[in-house]
Amino acid sequence: MKLYDLELSGNCYKVRLFSALAGIEIDIVPVDFMAGEHKKSPVIDLNPWGELPVLQDDDVVLRDSQAILVYLARKYGGNQWWPDSAAHQGEIVQWLSVASNEIQNGPCAARLVDKFGMQLNKERTLEVSDRILPLLESHLTNNEWLALNRPTIAECAVFPYVATAWEGGVDLTPYKAINSWMSRIKELPGYKSMPGIE
Amino acid sequence: MKLYDLELSGNCYKVRLFSALAGIEIDIVPVDFMAGEHKKSPVIDLNPWGELPVLQDDDVVLRDSQAILVYLARKYGGNQWWPDSAAHQGEIVQWLSVASNEIQNGPCAARLVDKFGMQLNKERTLEVSDRILPLLESHLTNNEWLALNRPTIAECAVFPYVATAWEGGVDLTPYKAINSWMSRIKELPGYKSMPGIE
């Protein structure tokens, strides 16, 4: 099983983090993003959208980090990270959507501007961050984990771009519950970090 | 089972559409959005995020339309709309992420500006639309359905804000495959429309 990977991408890190926590072996294939390797064969043949990460597991090929998390957890992760029941799946998908939308367009996009010089509206990325982080803080004030009172793939989807938010100028100091939650994640057996996370 | 609903919301319509297609009975509870009922009891108690839709099924309460689709399909929809296997779930979640992010911030956001006067950057909504619609067109040129070669909850997540894109000034005329796909959806047994879709 191969993960076409960019080390500095939080979306790729979601998959690396989950595979580390769940003890799933994946061959990491580094893609030279600056050289545009993701727009060339073989990556573009696997994912015509030209985005990373891409997972290839025999004849299964998936783009989108949330989809890859669901696939890996369902296939190799047992019931712990992505359970079987409707209510539990629904509870987790709420956070996959937040990862896809608010976290992506808030702290992730702010980091893309500051760290990689992407031409996005920085003010808007901070507005989105300022809306989602207090909601996350409020949830984590009343809950140790995002869903099911235990670590799930929701953590792997949301944590990477929250933990690197400071690289986009988003200050997490006021968010005590978010900081405690990040500490709990860092203490999970098998936890792996990425550049930008202390 | 209750759906706290706004008729003109495509996110609420995702749930109404799926329940119609899958034959799931839900009591629709209209919420007076203009009067701010979603920010007051009982809706705000169920969803502190102050967003619609909200689903209440006994002790299960869910926000986020994608999460509600997964819940309903898993609990009441059989294997047809949201199958059991890892590869199939992964394939569908790719499109749930697209619905949460690109469709929400592209055609949906363009419609929020034009139809409801929301203060968003219209140009940016059109840029996002101009990126995602050709990718969708290309996929649907080679596939009748978004995933699994059959209708799934992916259709219910993506269709509503594509079909109402014209209300945000997004012209779908050039996209022949998207138009054919929309026609196929409208012919599905049980299909229900919403205002803004002809």
- The backbone torsions φ and ψ at residue A160, rounded to the nearest 5 degrees and listed phi first, read -55, -50
On chain B, the residues whose CB falls within 8 A of the CB of A135 are 48-49
Alpha carbons A133 and A140: distance in angstroms, whole number: 10
What are the sequence ranges of the domains in chain A? 2-76, 86-186
Residue-wise pLDDT tens for chain B (198 aa)? 999 999 999 999 999 999 999 999 999 999 999 899 999 999 999 999 999 999 999 999 999 999 999 999 999 998 999 999 999 999 999 999 999 999 999 999 999 999 999 999 999 999 999 999 999 999 999 999 999 999 999 999 999 999 999 999 999 999 999 999 999 999 999 999 999 998
Task: Give the bridge partners for A54, in sequence order.
Answer: A4, A63
**Interface contact flag, A67 B94, Cβ < 8 Å:** yes
What are the distances in angstroms from CA B57 to CA A80, B18, B23, B46, B143?
24, 16, 16, 11, 35
State yes or no: pLDDT of A20 exceeds 90. yes
Hey, are the CB atoms on B48 and A100 less than 8 Å from each other?
no
Exposed/middle/buried for residue B172 (C-beta within 10 Å: 0-12, 13-18, 19+): middle
How close A98 comes to chain B (CA, Å)? 8
Residue B78: per-residue pLDDT: 86
CA A87 – CA B62 distance, rounded (Å): 9
Q: Is residue A172 within 8 Å of A162, Cβ to Cβ?
A: yes
* Fold annotation for B2-76: Glutaredoxin (3.40.30)
The partner residue sitting opposite A101, judged by closest CB among B89, B100, B121, is: B100
- Mean pLDDT value of segment A24-46: 95
Q: A86-186, what's its fold?
A: Glutathione S-transferase Yfyf (Class Pi); Chain A, domain 2 (1.20.1050)
Q: Are B112 and B120 spatial neighbours (Cβ–Cβ below 8 Å)?
A: yes
- The amino acid that residue A112 corresponds to is L
CB contact under 8 A, A67 and B101: no
Q: Across residues A127-155, what is the average pLDDT? A: 98
Mutate to test the interface with B, among A92, A93, A138 (most CBs of B within 10 A): A93
Residue of B nearest to A56 (CA): B87
Q: Are B68 and B2 in contact (CB under 8 A)?
A: no
Partner-chain contact B71 A64, CB within 8 Å: no
Q: What is the pLDDT of residue A94?
A: 98
Same fold, A2-76 and A86-186: no
Chain A residues in contact with B104 by the CB 8 A cut-off are 101
Q: Which pLDDT does position B198 carry in this prediction?
A: 84
pLDDT surpasses 90 at A110: yes
- The residues with which B147 forms a beta bridge, in sequence order, are B150
Asked if A90 lies within 8 A of B96 by C-beta distance, the reply is no
Question: Percent of chain A, pLDDT > 70?
Answer: 100
Task: Identify the closest residue of chain A to B120 by CA–CA distance.
Answer: A124
Contact list in A for residue B63 (CB cut-off 8 A) is: 94
| Contact status, residue A8 vs residue A58, Cβ threshold 8 Å | no
Q: Which of B14, B62, B71, B139 to mutate to test the interface with A (most CBs of A within 10 A)?
A: B71
Interchain CB distance below 8 Å, A101 and B96: no
Q: Hey, what are A55's tokens?
A: 């997972």
pLDDT for position B82: 98
Q: Would you say residue A170 has pLDDT above 90?
A: yes
pLDDT band at A78; cut points 50, 70, 90: confident
Are B106 and B121 a contacting pair, CB within 8 Å? Answer: no
* Chain A residues near residue B135 by CB distance under 8 angstroms: 48-49
Numbered residues of chain B with Cβ closer than 8 Å to any chain A Cβ: 48-49, 60, 62-64, 66-68, 70-72, 74-75, 85-87, 89-94, 96-98, 100-101, 104-105, 121, 124, 135, 138
Contact between B97 and A100 using a beta-carbon 8 Å cutoff: yes
CB A16, CB A41: distance < 8 Å: no
Contact A89 B105 (CB under 8 A): no
